[in-house]
C-alpha cells in the first residue's frame, strides 16, 4: 500500500471512529438527562464542545469573540445574561426582538433557538431553528462559556 493510500485509510478510519464516539457520547448524554428531559436537565449534560461545532451554522452571520465586529447578526460574545436586543450597541435589532424585552436566560435562548419566528414574530432572523433539544442545550452551553 502506498504511503498516500495508508494516510487516507488512517484518516478515514479515524473519522469513522470519532463519529461513532460522538454518537455514543450523545446517546449517553441523552440517557443521563432522563426519559423526558426538560431544557434544564439537558443543559446539565450539554457539551460546550458540541455546541461550538453546531455554532458553525451560526458563524456565517454571528461572530463570538470579544470585540469582533457584528456581521449580518450581532456579535454573540457574552450574550447569555445580557438584555435581549441589547447586547450590541452597533447592531440594529428589529422592533419584534426589542418588544420581547428581558434578558437571555437558558430557557429563553432555548425558545429562541427552537424557533426564532415563534419567539419574536417579525424578527429578521432567517434561521429556522434547531429541532433537537440536545443541540440547543449544547449551543447554550457554548454561549455560556463565551465570557
Question: Are the C-beta atoms of residues 85 and 112 closer than 8 Å to each other?
Answer: no
Judgement on whether residues 8 and 77 belong to the same structural domain of the protein = no
Judgement on whether residues 46 and 76 belong to the same structural domain of the protein = yes
Q: Under DSSP, is residue 30 helix (H, G, I), strand (E, B) or coil?
A: helix
66: left (phi over 0), alpha (psi -120 to 50) or beta: beta
Judgement on whether residues 21 and 89 belong to the same structural domain of the protein = no
Q: Which residues of the chain have pLDDT under 70?
A: 1-22
Which residue has cell 469582533? 68
Give the per-residue pLDDT at 32: 85
- Give the domain range for residue 12: 1-33
Total count of domains within the chain: 2
What are the pLDDT digits (tens) for 131-145? 999 999 999 999 999
Give the whole-angstrom CA distance, residue 70 versus residue 62: 7
What are the pLDDT digits (tens) for 108-117? 999 999 999 9
Has this prediction a pTM greater than 0.85? Answer: no
Amino acid at each position: 500500500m502506498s504511503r498516500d493510500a495508508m494516510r487516507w485509510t488512517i484518516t478515514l478510519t479515524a473519522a469513522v471512529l470519532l463519529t461513532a464516539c460522538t454518537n455514543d457520547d450523545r446517546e449517553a448524554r441523552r440517557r443521563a438527562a432522563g426519559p423526558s428531559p426538560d431544557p434544564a436537565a439537558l443543559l446539565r449534560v450539554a457539551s460546550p464542545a458540541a455546541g461550538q461545532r453546531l455554532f458553525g451554522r451560526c458563524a456565517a452571520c454571528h461572530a463570538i469573540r470579544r470585540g469582533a465586529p457584528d456581521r449580518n447578526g450581532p456579535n454573540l460574545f457574552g450574550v447569555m445574561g445580557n438584555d435581549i436586543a441589547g447586547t450590541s450597541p452597533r447592531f440594529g435589532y428589529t422592533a419584534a426582538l426589542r418588544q420581547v424585552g428581558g434578558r437571555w436566560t437558558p430557557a429563553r435562548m432555548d425558545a429562541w433557538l427552537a424557533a426564532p419566528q415563534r419567539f419574536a414574530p417579525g424578527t429578521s432572523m432567517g434561521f429556522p431553528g434547531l429541532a433537537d433539544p440536545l443541540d440547543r442545550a449544547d449551543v447554550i452551553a457554548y454561549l455560556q462559556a463565551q465570557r
